[in-house]
Protein backbone atom coordinates (compact mmCIF):
# COMPACT_ATOMS: atom_id res chain seq x y z
CA UNK A 1 0.00 0.00 0.00
CA UNK A 2 2.79 2.43 0.93
CA UNK A 3 4.71 1.51 -2.24
CA UNK A 4 1.66 2.30 -4.40
CA UNK A 5 1.22 5.62 -2.61
CA UNK A 6 4.89 6.55 -3.18
CA UNK A 7 4.66 5.60 -6.87
CA UNK A 8 1.52 7.71 -7.34
CA UNK A 9 3.15 10.72 -5.63
CA UNK A 10 6.27 10.41 -7.80
CA UNK A 11 4.17 10.03 -10.97
CA UNK A 12 2.02 13.03 -10.06
CA UNK A 13 5.06 15.17 -9.34
CA UNK A 14 6.65 14.18 -12.66
CA UNK A 15 3.46 15.08 -14.56
CA UNK A 16 3.32 18.50 -12.91
CA UNK A 17 7.01 19.11 -13.68
CA UNK A 18 6.52 18.22 -17.36
CA UNK A 19 3.54 20.57 -17.65
CA UNK A 20 5.45 23.37 -15.94
CA UNK A 21 8.45 22.70 -18.15
CA UNK A 22 6.52 23.02 -21.45
CA UNK A 23 4.66 26.07 -20.12
CA UNK A 24 7.95 27.69 -19.12
CA UNK A 25 9.52 26.83 -22.50
CA UNK A 26 6.61 28.48 -24.32
CA UNK A 27 6.85 31.60 -22.16
CA UNK A 28 10.62 31.74 -22.71
CA UNK A 29 10.15 31.57 -26.50
CA UNK A 30 7.58 34.39 -26.41
CA UNK A 31 9.74 36.54 -24.13
CA UNK A 32 12.74 35.93 -26.40
CA UNK A 33 10.80 37.20 -29.42
CA UNK A 34 9.63 40.25 -27.46
CA UNK A 35 13.21 41.02 -26.39
CA UNK A 36 14.55 40.62 -29.94
CA UNK A 37 12.02 43.24 -31.10
CA UNK A 38 12.92 45.57 -28.20
CA UNK A 39 16.65 45.18 -28.92
CA UNK A 40 16.05 45.78 -32.63
CA UNK A 41 14.16 49.00 -31.87
CA UNK A 42 17.00 50.19 -29.64
CA UNK A 43 19.62 49.13 -32.19
CA UNK A 44 17.88 50.97 -35.04
CA UNK A 45 17.89 54.18 -32.99
CA UNK A 46 21.42 53.79 -31.62
CA UNK A 47 23.05 52.94 -34.96
CA UNK A 48 20.73 55.05 -37.13
CA UNK A 49 19.72 52.03 -39.23
CA UNK A 50 16.57 50.69 -40.79
CA UNK A 51 15.86 47.16 -39.57
CA UNK A 52 13.11 44.69 -40.37
CA UNK A 53 11.50 41.64 -38.77
CA UNK A 54 11.34 38.69 -41.16
CA UNK A 55 9.40 35.55 -40.29
CA UNK A 56 8.49 32.19 -41.73
CA UNK A 57 6.63 29.34 -40.09
CA UNK A 58 9.89 27.85 -38.97
CA UNK A 59 11.45 30.91 -37.36
CA UNK A 60 12.40 34.56 -37.58
CA UNK A 61 15.32 36.97 -37.90
CA UNK A 62 16.10 40.68 -38.00
CA UNK A 63 17.21 42.06 -41.37
CA UNK A 64 19.28 45.18 -41.99
CA UNK A 65 18.60 47.51 -44.92
CA UNK A 66 21.80 48.22 -46.85
CA UNK A 67 21.83 51.73 -48.32
CA UNK A 68 24.65 50.70 -50.68
CA UNK A 69 22.92 47.73 -52.32
CA UNK A 70 19.38 48.98 -51.59
CA UNK A 71 18.51 45.45 -50.37
CA UNK A 72 17.65 43.72 -47.12
CA UNK A 73 20.43 41.59 -45.66
CA UNK A 74 20.68 39.16 -42.77
CA UNK A 75 22.14 40.83 -39.71
CA UNK A 76 25.70 39.95 -38.78
CA UNK A 77 24.83 40.21 -35.08
CA UNK A 78 24.19 36.93 -33.29
CA UNK A 79 21.22 38.27 -31.32
CA UNK A 80 19.42 39.07 -34.61
CA UNK A 81 20.42 35.92 -36.54
CA UNK A 82 17.92 33.35 -37.75
CA UNK A 83 16.18 31.64 -34.85
CA UNK A 84 14.37 28.34 -35.26
CA UNK A 85 11.20 27.92 -33.22
CA UNK A 86 10.26 24.50 -31.85
CA UNK A 87 7.88 22.59 -34.15
CA UNK A 88 5.13 22.87 -31.51
CA UNK A 89 5.03 26.69 -31.81
CA UNK A 90 3.69 28.80 -34.66
CA UNK A 91 3.40 32.53 -35.39
CA UNK A 92 0.65 34.62 -36.94
CA UNK A 93 1.43 38.20 -37.87
CA UNK A 94 -0.88 41.15 -38.33
CA UNK A 95 0.61 44.45 -39.49
CA UNK A 96 -1.47 47.62 -39.57
CA UNK A 97 -4.65 45.51 -39.17
CA UNK A 98 -3.75 43.26 -42.14
CA UNK A 99 -2.96 39.55 -41.78
CA UNK A 100 0.47 38.74 -43.22
CA UNK A 101 1.02 35.33 -44.80
CA UNK A 102 4.46 34.17 -43.76
CA UNK A 103 4.28 30.79 -45.50
CA UNK A 104 4.83 31.86 -49.12
CA UNK A 105 8.40 33.02 -48.77
CA UNK A 106 11.83 31.50 -49.28
CA UNK A 107 13.59 29.70 -46.48
CA UNK A 108 15.03 31.73 -43.65
CA UNK A 109 18.76 31.56 -43.25
CA UNK A 110 19.33 30.97 -46.97
CA UNK A 111 20.21 33.55 -49.63
CA UNK A 112 19.18 37.08 -48.73
CA UNK A 113 17.83 37.83 -52.21
CA UNK A 114 14.12 38.53 -52.14
CA UNK A 115 13.75 38.80 -48.38
CA UNK A 116 11.23 41.47 -47.45
CA UNK A 117 10.49 42.05 -43.75
CA UNK A 118 6.93 42.06 -42.44
CA UNK A 119 7.74 44.76 -39.85
CA UNK A 120 9.87 47.85 -40.33
CA UNK A 121 11.90 49.37 -37.51
CA UNK A 122 13.03 52.91 -38.20
CA UNK A 123 15.98 54.88 -36.76
CA UNK A 124 13.64 57.22 -34.88
CA UNK A 125 12.42 54.23 -32.84
CA UNK A 126 9.13 53.87 -34.69
CA UNK A 127 8.02 50.35 -35.53
CA UNK A 128 5.18 49.21 -37.80
CA UNK A 129 2.02 48.69 -35.72
CA UNK A 130 1.75 44.93 -35.28
CA UNK A 131 0.28 42.01 -33.41
CA UNK A 132 2.18 38.72 -33.38
CA UNK A 133 0.28 35.78 -31.97
CA UNK A 134 2.45 32.88 -30.89
CA UNK A 135 0.53 29.65 -30.31
CA UNK A 136 1.40 26.16 -29.16
CA UNK A 137 -0.19 22.80 -29.88
CA UNK A 138 -1.56 22.71 -26.32
CA UNK A 139 -3.47 25.98 -26.96
CA UNK A 140 -1.19 28.40 -25.13
CA UNK A 141 -1.16 31.89 -26.65
CA UNK A 142 1.21 34.82 -26.37
CA UNK A 143 0.29 38.13 -27.95
CA UNK A 144 3.23 40.40 -28.68
CA UNK A 145 2.28 43.84 -29.95
CA UNK A 146 3.05 47.51 -30.44
CA UNK A 147 0.98 50.40 -31.76
CA UNK A 148 4.16 51.93 -33.29
CA UNK A 149 4.76 54.44 -30.51
CA UNK A 150 4.50 52.39 -27.33
CA UNK A 151 6.83 49.68 -26.10
CA UNK A 152 6.58 46.12 -27.34
CA UNK A 153 4.27 44.37 -24.89
CA UNK A 154 3.41 40.73 -24.26
CA UNK A 155 0.33 38.99 -22.87
CA UNK A 156 -0.21 35.29 -22.13
CA UNK A 157 -3.51 33.41 -22.37
CA UNK A 158 -5.10 30.11 -23.36
CA UNK A 159 -7.16 29.44 -26.49
CA UNK A 160 -10.80 28.59 -25.78
Record the pTM. 0.81
Residue 36: give the domain boundaries. Answer: 2-158
pLDDT at residue 4 greater than cutoff 70:
no
pLDDT bin (cut points 50, 70, 90) of residue 15 is very low
Query: In this predicted model, what pLDDT tens digit does every residue of 30-72 receive, in sequence order?
Result: 999 999 999 999 999 999 999 999 997 679 999 999 999 999 9
Which stretches does DSSP call E strand in the chain? Answer: 51-56, 59-66, 71-74, 83-84, 89-95, 98-100, 119-121, 130-136, 140-146, 153-158
CA separation (Å) from 72 to 17, 60, 113, 115, 120? 43, 14, 8, 6, 11
**The predicted structure's pLDDT at residue 20:** 63
CA separation (Å) from 13 to 8, 18, 71, 130? 8, 9, 53, 40
What domain count does the chain have?
1
CATH number, domain containing residue 116: 3.55.40.10
Amino acid sequence: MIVIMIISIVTGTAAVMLTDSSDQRFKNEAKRLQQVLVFATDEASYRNRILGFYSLNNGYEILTFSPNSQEWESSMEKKFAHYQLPETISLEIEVENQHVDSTERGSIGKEDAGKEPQLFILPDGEISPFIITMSSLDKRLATIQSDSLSKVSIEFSYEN
